[in-house]
Amino acid sequence: MNKYILTLTILLGAVTLAHSQKTIEKKIKADNQETVMKFSFADDIILEAWNKNYIELIVQVNIDDNQYNDYYSLELDEGNEKIEMVEKVDFESIKKLKGKKELCNFNTTLNYKLKVPNNLNIKLETISGEIELIGCQGEMSIKSISGFIDYSIPQSHKANIELSTVTGDVYSNVKFDTKVADKISWVGTNQELSLNGGNTEVELKTISGDIYLRKY
Amino acid sequence: MKCEEVKINLPEYIDGKLDMNTNVLIRKHIDNCESCREIYTELNAFLKFTGSFKEIEPPSGMKDEFLQLAELEESTSKTRTLIIPAWIKVAAMIIFVFGTFAAGYFTGSEKGENEFVMAEMENLKQQVLLAGLRDYSGPQKIEAVYSLTATGQSNDELVNALVYTLNSDKNVNVRLAALNVLSGMINTNTQVRNELINSLTVQENPLLQISLIQVLTESGVKEARDKIENLSNNEKTDQNVKEFARDMVKTII
Amino acid sequence: MKKVTIVIAIFIIPLISLSQVKKYEYTPKVKNRIEIKNLLGEISLKNSGGNTIVVESDFNIDKPERAEGLQLMGAAEDNTELGINITEENGVVRILGATKKVKDYKYSISVPKGIVVNLDYHSPFTSDELEIESYEGSLEIKTLSANVKLTNCTGPFTVNSVSGNVEAIFSSVDQDEPTSLASVSGLIDVSVPSSLKATIQLSNITGDIYNNLDLVNASKEKDDSRSKGLDEIKHSGGGEYALNGGGQKLLLKSVSGNIYLRKK
C-alpha cells in the first residue's frame, strides 16, 4: 500500500522585501485512479488533456499582494484507487494577523493549470473558479457555484453529457445526437445530451455560471 | 420543382388551396413530367369518384387498427406524409377506401409490381391513416367528428373511433367535440356509458374532466360516483374541477 | 509653439431600442403545419403571400465574449439568432423558444397561406395576453392563464384555456370548418357579423350567457309528446341555436365564466 500524505508548503526564503508570487509545480503519476480536486477559492482552473500518463500541476498563488502566500497549501493524497488534491488556505490565521478592519481589501488570486492524461477520471469542485476543460475525454464530474465551465470537446468523443445551470446560460456549437429536449425547465437550463452515440459520463453543474460547449 | 414536392402538394393543388406561384410551378412541372402527370390525372379522377360518396361504412377491425396507431405514433422518418385535405368530409378512418389506388400513388405508380404493392398495402394503409390523423387540424377533426355522426350510424366502430378521439387526441377542443357527440348516446348505448366512466381516469385537462362529470351526473350514472369522488380528493386535480366534482357528487343519490 | 490638438472622440452609443428588429426566413419543404411552443413573449401572426415563413423579433441578449461562435442553448438550441429554434420534420415546422429569456421580446411571424398554426401558449411562464390581429387561417391555441384576443380574424379556431378569457371579433366566419372556444374559468366574448349563418352551441355551467343576436332555438328535438306546441326555454347540457337559418358550427363553452354574444 503506497500511501503518502504530502503537505506541500514551499517557504519563500528569499530576502526580498517585495514578496513574489508563489508557484507550486508538481508531477503526479496517474494510473486510472479517480482524481478528486477541491479548489474551493480558485480563480482560474484549466485542465488540458495530453498523451502522457502523469498529471502536471502548476498553481500560482497570490494572497493579498503576496503577503500571506505561506498560508496556502495544497494537500495531495496519492492512493492506488484515488488521487486527491485539496486546496487549503488558512484564513483564520490570516484574519488574526490582519485584524478585522483590513479584511475589506483582501485579495486572493489562485490559478490552477493542469495537464492531465486524456482519459483521466476527474471530480472537480470549486466555488468561484472559472473552469476550462480542453480535450478531456475521461469520466468527469465538474461542479462550480459561480464560475463558468468551458468544455472543448474532441469531435469524435463518445459522451453522455448531463449539464445544469440555475441562473446561467448555455452556449454551444456542438452537434449533439438527440434532439435537445424541448421542455422548458422551471429553473435554469437542464439537459442530458449524447454525443456520437454516447458512452463516457460527463456531468457539468454550476449554479450561476454559464456553460460553454465547443467543438475541438 | 421536384417530383416529391409536387406529389405531396397535389391534393391541395386540385383543391385550389395553393397560392398563385406554387400553382404555376406545379402546372409547369405536370406539363413536363409524365410520371407526375399520370398521378395527377388519376388522383383527380379518383377524388371526383369519392366525392360522390354520401355515407361510408367504417371498415371492420378498426378498433385494432386505431390501437396499433398508438404504437405506430413513434414511427420513423420512413413514413411518407400525405396531406389529406379538408374537402374529404369524412373522418380519417375512411381513408381506407383509397384501397389499391393509394398503393399505386405511394409506390410511385409502378403498377406492374402488384404483389409488392399488395404486401405493402397493410403497412401503407396504417401510415396513410396515421398521416391523415396527424395532419388534420383541430377544426378539421371537429368537422370530421360531427360529420361521422351525421351519417346516423352508431355502430361499434363509430363509437370506438369517437372514444379513441376522446381519450387520445391532442387537441382539447376536439376531445370536447367527441364528448359532446358521445353524450348524446349515453342513454341508449351501454358501451358508451362504460367508456365515458372510464374516460374519467384518463382525462387530465380540467375542461374535459368537468364536462365528463357533468354528462355523467346529469345522466344519472351512479357507477361513476366513486371515480368522481376520487378526482375530487386527489391533490393533483385542478381546483375548479375539485369544487365541481364535490358539488356534483352530492347530486348522485 | 506647438499646438496640441486634442481630439475628443464622441462615442455615440446606439440606442438599444425596441426598433432593432432581426429577421429570419424559413422555407418549409411541406406547407402543412407550424407548431409554436415555449415562445413565451408577445406573439403576432401575419398572413404572407409567399412560400416563406418569416420571423421578426427584437430579441437581443448580451452574449458574453466567450460565447463568440457559439449558439444559445436552453430547452432548444437557438439556430436563428432570434432566441428560437426552427426545425421541420414530417411536414411539421416547429418553432420553439430556446430559453425563458424570450419572454421579454416580441415575435412577429408571417405565415404562408394554407398552413395551420398550432400555438402552445400553455406554459406557466407566458405573457398575460395573446393577441392576434387580422389573420386569416386555421389556428389551434392552448393557454393556461393567458387571455386570448382574436380581432378581425376569420377562423377556423380551436382555443382552449384554463383561466384565460377568450375574445373573438370575427370579420367573417370560415364556413368550411367549425370554431370551438373553451375555457374553464375565463369568459368567452364573441362578435360576429349579424348576417352570418351559423349554428351556435352554448355550454356553460355556473356562468351567465348574454346575447344580442337573433338566435333561434335549434336544439335537437326530443321525443316528448307532452312538449308538443311548447317552446323549449331551457335545454339540458347547453343549447344549440341557429343564426340566420344555421350554418357552420360555433362551439362556445365556459364552465364558470360568462359567455357574451354580440352583433358586430
User: Kindly report the CA angle at C18 between C17 and C20, in degrees rounded to 5?
Assistant: 75
The domain total for chain B is: 2
Expressed as residue numbers, the domain containing B46 is 1-52
Q: Which of A181, A182, A212 lies closest to C67 in CB terms?
A: A212
Nearest CA in chain A to C124: A186
Residues 57 through 96 of chain C touching chain B, CB cutoff 8 Å? 89-91
- What is the least distance, in Å, from the CA of C226 to any CA of chain B? 20
Answer whether residue B133 is part of any domain: no
Answer whether residue B106 is part of any domain: no
Q: What is this structure's pTM?
A: 0.71
Q: Which of B36, B137, B9, B131 is nearest to B77 (CA)?
A: B131
Is C116 an 8 Å CB contact of chain B?
A: yes
Answer whether residue B25 is part of any domain: yes
Q: Which of B172, B182, B241 is most worth mutating to test chain C (most C CB atoms within 10 A of its CB)?
A: B172
- pLDDT tens, residue order, chain C (264 aa): 444 444 333 333 333 344 588 999 999 888 889 999 999 989 999 998 889 999 999 999 888 999 999 999 988 889 999 999 999 987 889 999 988 889 899 999 999 988 999 999 988 888 889 999 999 999 999 999 999 999 999 989 999 999 999 999 998 888 889 999 999 999 999 999 989 999 999 998 888 999 999 888 887 766 677 878 887 777 666 788 999 999 899 999 999 999 999 998
Contact B142 C253 (CB under 8 A): no
Which residues in C lie closer than 8 A to residue B206 (C-beta atoms)? 162, 184, 255
Domain spans of chain A, in order of start = 21-156
The C-alpha torsion from A10 through A16 and A19 to A20, rounded to 10°, is: -70
Q: Which of C73, C76, C125 lies closest to A171 in CB terms?
A: C73
Question: Which other chains touch chain A, taking contact as 3+ CB pairs less than 8 Å apart?
Answer: C
ipTM of the complex: 0.82
CB C200 within 8 A of CB C180: no
Say yes or no: B149 and B246 in one domain.
yes
Answer whether residue B64 is part of any domain: no
Dist CA B237 CA B204 (whole Å)? 8
Answer whether residue B83 is part of any domain: no
β-strands A130-134, A149-153: how paired? parallel
Answer whether residue B194 is part of any domain: yes
How many contacts does B have with C, using Cβ atoms within 8 A? 136
Q: How many CB atoms lie under 10 A from the CB of residue C250?
A: 26
Residues contacting C259, CB < 8 A, separation 6+: C187, C188, C189, C190, C202, C204, C207, C208, C209, C210, C252
Q: Which of C66, C70, C100 lies closest to A172 in CB terms?
A: C70
Q: How many CB atoms lie under 10 A from the CB of residue A144?
A: 27
pLDDT in tens, B175-196: 999 999 898 888 888 889 999 9
Is C191 an 8 Å CB contact of chain B?
A: no
Say yes or no: B146 and B244 in one domain.
yes
Q: DSSP state, C186?
A: S
Q: Which of C89, C157, C253 lies closest to B176 in CB terms?
A: C253
Cell, residue B80: 411518407
Which residues in C lie closer than 8 A to residue A172 (C-beta atoms)? 70-71, 73, 77
- What is the least distance, in Å, from the CA of B7 to any CA of chain C? 11
Which residues in C lie closer than 8 A to residue B173 (C-beta atoms)? 140, 158-160, 180-182, 251
Residues contacting B14, CB < 8 A, separation 6+: B40, B43, B44, B47
Dist CA A76 CA A7 (whole Å)? 7
What H or E segment, with its residue span, contains residue A88? Answer: strand A82-89
